[in-house]
Structure 1
Amino acid sequence: MTQPPPPPPHQPPPGGGFGPPQDQPPQQPGGGFGPPQPPQPQPQQPPAQPPQPPAYGYPQAPQGAPQTPPPTPPASPGYGYPGQQPGAYGQPQNPYGQPGYGYPQQTVPLHAQSGGPGGGGQKSYTWLVVVAAAVVAIALVIGGVVIARSGDDDGGKDDTASSSGGTGGGDDDNGGGSTTPGKEKVPANPNSRVLFQVPAPKVSDDTTISVSGSWLTDKAYVKSGVSEIVGYDPDKGTELWTIPLPGPVCRAAKHVSEDNLTAVAFEPAKPTKAKPSHGCSQVAAIDLDAGKKLWTKSAEVDGRLIPYDNITLSGGTVAAGGTSGGAAFDLKSGKSLWVPKANDSCYDLGYAGGPKMVAVRKCGSYDQPQLNIQTIDPKTGKVISEYKMAEGVEYASVISTEPLVVAAEAGQSDSIGISDVFSIDNKTGKLRIRISVPGDQYAARCSGVTTIEACTGVVVGNDRLYVETEEHQGGGEYGRTNEIVAFDLATGKQTGQRADAGDRYTITPLRMDGGNVIAYKRPPYNKGGQIVSIDGGSFKETKLLENPAAKTVRDVETRMLPEYAELLYSQGRLYMSARFASELGTEYQKKYHVIAFGRTD
């Protein structure tokens, strides 16, 4: 497989490239990334090879593009992070003053081991051995009683059973957690190779086009292109089928039905310089296995086509919404099911799907908005429960619909950072707990004010919130790192669970796998990225995939980071793809639409 050529040293980024930008001054308040901090001191001696610079510039949204531009990339990584103190992120303080995460090790005094002054020599040592053996025996008996009781409570289910690959969660002294087994297999050899690459599509100069949407089934890896959707062989990358569209895919549902159907919203015509956007007014259902478009629908308000800012699916219903209105359709037939009730003071901003259907409804005046989080019946649109957000919250994003978890930036309007997370009871609409996750400590982000389901750096599972921390100085002289920590969604307190990225790596949660967290590790300048599984109980990390360290490969990978690209991992294969297409770069900075990795075993 031909590898992408490396860029020349210190080459400035081309206009409209993928990935985060080169280092730049931190944004001022309103940018959503926390207050600017003074620059980090430089080490006296640089490393033998300088760290890989942040990847190249992120494309700007075209003028007149529908509603939500690409998220503003962060400035130099890690600014705004407070000095880490012992016990940061809820790690329990160690009363014995010893480092580490577990219970302090007990030691036998030297004089007791060797028969020191006043000691009994061999007699004292024998006595200690007898006592220790008795303690172990008692512990085993107690442990047996606990296991037997656990078995009685759940009909004989073994709570310690792991998944097929040994990554299932298990209860322990570090916060407990779900024992739901994961499906991802642990390899004997996690090393990967490049399966295939798809070059970036050609677009006109000074044009940025949305290519949002990527999905994976047993039969195909599917990715939106420029005014098309393409199915690729998941191992070889050969094109299996293509669905042409009259215009770009501007919104794509992140969920897939059990029979591998999904939905997209697209423009009715291709962009031109005279008219860069025609409105995201068309909705279609896609069969990802067959490579077919099942139907296309649109809706009107006062004789005008509704442009959609978001699209999702739940319970066989496709729902699309935005500030101009919304509509719901049957996923298989395209039959119109319901439209949201709108009046002068209330309208649906949009919807989140998956196990439940949730509407984010905005009421009130421009100066005094009121957001309502509604769990609705996907077939009828009937409201099942409703929670009224606190005043001052103008926009909200849904991290999970079951359990219902909503993120917001209180008092701000850019909806980029997150200041608070709301755990809500689906059935009653009552607030369970409000969790503070300030942007200067945590790296979770929700892009766009009406995309509703576009959050990175945070996932939900085991009735816990798993969130990525901001970068900070690592243990090495030059390294920076971060962690994933967990909050209990019932109490709002940190569980004490913490997964460290490791020196010079940064870690981002991607999704749940049963009771385990699947996470991506951004690599340092001389290594490839990794996919790890974090046990939901012990928080032990298991490496599932490690990409090649070759610079030509790493240069492409680091332009496809989770904040700015779409990452899909399943059973030893990782697919990283762009969200936007822009004009091609120089011959030394060739851009890629997709890069796929697979294990060598």
Structure 2
Amino acid sequence: MQPGYGYPGPGQPPTAVAQPQAGTGGGRNNTALLIVVAAVVAIALIIGGGIWYAKSSGSDDKHPDTASSSGGPTGTGGSGSTGGGKEKVPDDTASKVLFQVPLPQAEDTVVTAGSWLTDKVYAKSGVAEIVGYDPAKGTELWTLKLPGPVCAASGHADEDGRTAIVFQPRTPAKGSTAGCSQIAAIDLTAGKKLWTKSVNSGDVPLTFDNVTVAQGSVAVGSLEGGAAFDLASGKLLWQPKPADTCFDEGYGGGARLVAVRRCGTYDDRQLHIQTIDPKSGKVISEYRMPDGVDYAAVVSTDPLVVSGSSTNVSDYFSIDGKTGELLARISAPKDTYAGRCNGLNQIDGCKQVVAGGGRLYLPTQQIDGKGAYTKTNEVVAFDLKTGKPTGQRAEAGDGYSLSPLRMDGGNLLAYKAPPYNKGGQIVSIDGGSFKVTTLLENPATRSVRSAETSLLPDYAEILYGGGRLYMSSVYAHKSSPYTKEYLVMAFGTGG
């Protein structure tokens, strides 16, 4: 079947989610810098049926993560440091629906990737537009019309609430595409485009399926090439010089800029993970992925963690971003661990996989629950220095399913998808004790739960900040007259 306009092609849906950053106008809550120099040889051990690979523990941790936090002794501590989060427990965790945005009607499947949350606005991509909403009331603050559908949106925004998107120059005919050639920087506070650019190869504009924001720059990439621009002015900073068989496949952003560079032929490919100076394009460090790894996606740029996948195998690589040395390789078999990384056409970010505080957090696949016909899962942690499981695990609870969202200081925020008779929850998992604290619980009424469960983490965008939860769709399509569908569902507690 031919994809509809704005459709990104094969792979998982394009999700771009900018997480709130406390005390700023926007941006992702970046974790503290972890730079560890490891030495000696790689070893392999069997730990509880899972394989881990790591360098020896001779390390020089010049940049400790965060201060310790308090918490009840409900888990086994790992080696990573922890710090208290910004998200507070409200007096009453029961939430209510703050507002809903109906799913736009479209004759074809249209990408609506991109959602951002700052202290002033919740912004969401629609059909060839981005709309800014009051975070509490849902009233429209601004609407930015685009000539064509959004193709990709950065999951990062800077402290001034500026981000970037790639979009089509016009709305194409049904079942076709006009090419994802237009790059724009967006001021989320003002609801304005700062600039629009394109990159040509001769007279033909290049198309892009990856865009990210890092350290005052916008980087775009695809199989056709890449480029970087100044976020404020739109000035072209650099373009990678493709060798005969090498090109920048895409970039991960946020605290640092990281390139996934592909070399070789289709049958004999090599992937290189490069930390890049965003202003000059100079390579700061480089790690060559092992042979046989076909695709890579950037989980986090600080700490530097990438996923590498081949058929039925998915490993995570913890890399020293300063030296390019491998710190640990963590094996995560797909039949044991959930989480979705798409190195095919979505380099920046993985769904339900979070790195921070010296650890990698992964959800397990669902297992049988205690009740009849119920399922559940856990979130487990791995040490980024050694690759070993820390022994920490947080249980979702019978009928619930846990999905990591982002770091909050040294704590992990996660979403709990609900059973048939409950509402979903946002919980905070203490980075030291692994104590699970509920921050928000949604209504269990049938209509609300039905809307919520149509926007689960596998395919939707989920943002949480300041006691408010925003769930949004990454596609619009022709709706069924029998089903009520939403572009956005927003929930909030009373404080």
Q: Verify same fold: TM over 0.5.
A: yes
CA shift, 1:462, in A, is 1.1
Identify the match of residue 596 of structure 1 among 476, 490, 495.
490
Q: Which runs of 5+ in 1 are unaligned?
A: 1-58, 73-85, 91-153
Distance 2:6 2:81 in 1: 46
Alignment of 1:576 onto 2:464: no
Looking at secondary structure, tell me which structure has more strand per residue: 2
Aligned-partner residue type, residue 198 of structure 1: V
Distance 2:388 2:48 in 1: 14
Per the alignment, residue 396 of structure 1 pairs with 296
CA shift, 1:252, in A, is 0.2
Aligned-residue CA RMSD (Å): 2.3
Aligned-partner residue type, residue 188 of structure 1: D
Per the alignment, residue 25 of structure 1 pairs with none
CA shift, 1:419, in A, is 1.5
Alignment of 1:189 onto 2:89: no
CA shift, 1:276, in A, is 2.0
CA contact (8 A) 1:319 1:326 kept: yes
CA shift, 1:238, in A, is 1.0
Q: For residues 71 and 593 of structure 1, do their structure 2 counterparts lie closer, same or farther at Cα, with a shift above 3 Å needed?
A: closer
CA contact (8 A) 1:171 1:178 kept: no
Distance 2:328 2:289 in 1: 12
Identify the match of residue 559 of structure 1 among 420, 443, 454.
454
Per the alignment, residue 135 of structure 2 pairs with 234
Distance 1:430 1:89 in 2: 23
Distance 1:408 1:276 in 2: 31
Aligned-partner residue type, residue 265 of structure 2: S
Per the alignment, residue 191 of structure 2 pairs with 291
Corresponding pairs, count: 450
**Identity value in percent:** 58
Per the alignment, residue 500 of structure 1 pairs with 395
Alignment of 1:202 onto 2:105: yes
SS at match of 2:394: strand
| Larger mean Cα displacement after TM superposition, 262-271 or 474-483 | 474-483
Looking at secondary structure, tell me which structure has more helix per residue: 1
Aligned-partner residue type, residue 590 of structure 1: K
Q: Which has the larger radius of gyration?
A: 1
Q: For residues 418 and 237 of structure 1, do their structure 2 counterparts lie closer, same or farther at Cα, with a shift above 3 Å needed?
A: farther
CA contact (8 A) 1:61 1:69 kept: no
CA contact (8 A) 1:60 1:69 kept: no
Identify the match of residue 335 of structure 1 among 235, 242, 260.
235
Distance 2:343 2:125 in 1: 20
Q: For residues 544 and 271 of structure 1, do their structure 2 counterparts lie closer, same or farther at Cα, with a shift above 3 Å needed?
A: same
Distance 2:313 2:13 in 1: 14
Aligned-partner residue type, residue 258 of structure 2: V
Identify the match of residue 370 of structure 2 among 459, 475, 490.
475
CA contact (8 A) 1:170 1:177 kept: no
Q: For residues 60 and 181 of structure 1, do their structure 2 counterparts lie closer, same or farther at Cα, with a shift above 3 Å needed?
A: farther
Q: Which runs of 5+ in 2 are unaligned?
A: 15-46, 52-62
Mapping of 1:176-325 within 5 angstroms? Answer: 177-204=80-107, 207-273=108-174, 276-325=176-225
Per the alignment, residue 540 of structure 1 pairs with 435
Distance 1:286 1:475 in 2: 48
Per the alignment, residue 135 of structure 1 pairs with none
Aligned-partner residue type, residue 369 of structure 1: R
Aligned-partner residue type, residue 597 of structure 1: F
Q: For residues 261 and 191 of structure 1, do their structure 2 counterparts lie closer, same or farther at Cα, with a shift above 3 Å needed?
A: same
CA contact (8 A) 1:161 1:170 kept: no
Aligned-partner residue type, residue 560 of structure 1: L
TM-score w.r.t. length of structure 1: 0.72
Distance 1:60 1:161 in 2: 52
Aligned-partner residue type, residue 384 of structure 2: L
CA shift, 1:490, in A, is 0.9
Per the alignment, residue 383 of structure 2 pairs with 488
TM-score w.r.t. length of structure 2: 0.87
Distance 2:494 2:77 in 1: 34
SS at match of 1:456: coil
Per the alignment, residue 51 of structure 1 pairs with none
SS at match of 1:446: coil
Distance 1:476 1:324 in 2: 51
Q: Which has the higher contact order (CA 8 A, sep 6+)?
A: 2
CA shift, 1:344, in A, is 2.2
CA shift, 1:176, in A, is 5.2
